[in-house]
Every structure is written in C-alpha cells, then in structure tokens.
Amino acid sequence: MIKNVAIIGAGAMGSGIAQVAAQNGCKVKIYDTYKQALTKSQANLAKTLEKLVNKGKFTNEQAQSITNNIRYIDDIHNINDADLVIEAIIENLDIKKKAFQEIEKIVRSECILASNTSSLSITSLAAACSQPERVIGIHFFNPAPIMKLVEIIPAVQTDKGIVELSKSTIDTWGKETVLAKDTPAFIVNRVARPFYSEAIRIYEEGIASPAMIDWAMTEIGGFRMGPFTLMDFIGHDVNFAVTESVFKAYYYDDRYKPSFTQKRLVEAGYLGRKSGKGFYDYGEDSSEQEFNKDKKQGEKIVERIVVMLINEAADALFWNIATKEDIDTAMTKGVNYPKGLLKWADEWGMDVCESILDDLFDEYRETRYRCSPLIRKMQRKGLTFYPKRK
C-alpha cells in the first residue's frame, strides 16, 4: 500500500502530480533545491483549490484536506519515509541518474523509485542504482490533475511486483494507465510525431497554410486542436527538442526527422504563445490568416496526416511497444485524438492505408513514408485490428 509519496521537483508537473496524490489521501512531500520554486508551488496550489471550490468541484473541507496532505521541503533527507518517489526534474539523463543515486541512499529498500520522464531510458536510470529492480517510469501528462492518461514503463530490470503495485496505485488515483515498453518516447510522444512533422511538411511544400491545415484537422478530422495551434501552445523550444531527441534516439530514422522551419522559429525566439509569435502572431494588432476552405483539399490534408499517425501506431504494435488497446487509449486519453488510430485504420481498411502510404513513398522515395509491415501483412490476410461487428 502506497501511503507516503515524495515528489522531486516543484515545477508545474511535479506540483500537479503532488496534487493528484494528495487528492487521493496520500501524504505528500515536495522537494526542490530552490525555495522560491516551493513557494510558487504552494501559492499555485492554493489558487487552484480556491477556483475548484468556487466551481463546486471540491468542498472547503476537501480543499483543506488536500492542502494538509502536502508538505514543502528543501532538505531531501526528509523523504526517508516515502513508499514511492516520483522524480519530475529536467529532462537530462545524467542529472536524473545523479538524483536517483542520491535518493536511493535516503529511502528504505522497499521504496519504489519512479521517473516522470517523457522519453528517456528507464533502463539507463535503473542501471545507475544499486537496486535497479525497483526503478520504473510513471509518466503523467500535463496538467497532471486533469489529464487522465499515465504511461507505466518498466525498465529491463524492473521487478514484476513493482510494475503491478505502481500500476494499481495510479489506477486508484483515478487515472487510466497503459503499459509501454522502454523504448524512446514510449507510446504517445512516439506515435504523435507525424501530427506535427507531416503538417509542417505539407506547409513547407506550399500545399496549404498553417491556418488551412489547422482548419482541416479540426473541422474535417475532428481533432480538438490543429497541429500549428498546438505547437504554438506547447512552445517550439519544447516541441522541437522532443522531436530532435526522438530522431537521435531512433538512430536518425527519417520518419522522425526534425524540421528546419521549426528550428528557425526557435532560433528567432518565435516560440509560440509564450513569446507572442510562432506560426501565428499573438500581438494586439494581429489578424487571422485568410485561406480558402476547400473541402476536397482539406480532406487530402487530413488523409495524409492521419495515415502517417496510423502507420506509426501500427509500427508501435508491430514492435510490441504496447497492446493495441493501450495504444488507442494512449492517443485518445493522452493527446485527445478523436478516436483510436488502430480503430481508425479498421474503418478505412488496410488496403486504403497501404495504398495511400505507397503512393506517398512512390512520390517522394523517402523512408519516412514506408508502410508498416503489420499493415501489409493484415492487408494480405484480410485482417482488422479489432473484431468486425456482425
């Protein structure tokens, strides 16, 4: 039973995870080396809880209980009673390794050591520890109190009992957990790459403007947010860094190649909403980009981006990164896609998916457009990812 939780890092993600644990009755300690980070985290939680009380989501008593369940500490030795430690610091493997080695000397031997990394190797983190079998990835999505999905990533060394306890604990916190193999970017951040990269590619080719592509993906495709609006929201420094790290981690596979267009935005300091300019201008005098709402062209845009997403999801299943159910759950709950990509593939048919991908490959002769072997195999055998409805 997990009762005492320690969070390493008082940033937005660490603070959000702490709130989730505290809401579910755990005693939580948030540690950070910077006292101002702890002060900011405490103030932000108070504001958040006040808003939730005003909206009727919590009673005053519940909000007070959550507040009472969290302690803010600047001495890491105070985490010695933790049953579970979740690290939520900078995405740097060497820094995380040092943190784990320090934590390991303080906590009990039964304590689970988890990382909230979105893409780094859990196996490498575990290898830095004297008890690698208790290390696991527990990846929340931002904002943690709102987003339902959590990826559970066992390292090669992780004990099965640790996997089961970690998963069941996060399930009791009201989250939907999916199991992912310890491969770069796990499920969501791997499968979602074409949503950004193929959209940029279409723009770079001069086929359509960011505004038109966003319109097509939301109005025709059913996505909550278009790729360019989403990249501006995330921040191009963050989005480009993830793409670049995935590209390197997959041995420079052409499928994950970063874009010079986005690189130039980062170099210019046009980071999106937070800087006032990205693909769109967010200044007071800015005006909306005009474009022709050509439905046929919009459908072709959606077809091209979605088929690349389907292909990536199929490849994740082909390489046993996760089950088909977990892949589809990850994309609908983690990034709010309108439907599971493998279910989408079934609706289109394997022959249609294969044909679109082969047409793209014939046109460009780039390995980024190679069709997943699983789609080809299923097309030959007339199979679907899910049983056909009678």
Catalytic residue IDs: 118, 139, 151, 189
Q: Which residue has the tokens 């989005």?
A: 239
The enclosing H or E element of 18 equals: helix 12-23
Q: What's the full length of the chain, in residues?
A: 390
Q: Which residue has the tokens 């808003």?
A: 51
Exposure class string for 105-142: b at 16+ Cβ within 10 A, else e: ebbeeebbbbbbbbbbbbbbbbebbeebebbbbbbbbe
Distance CA 42, CA 39 (A): 5
Distances (CA, A) of 10 to 106, 125, 260, 356: 19, 20, 33, 46
Contact 256, 191 (CB under 8 A): no
Q: Which residue has the tokens 């689970």?
A: 112
Contact 5, 78 (CB under 8 A): no
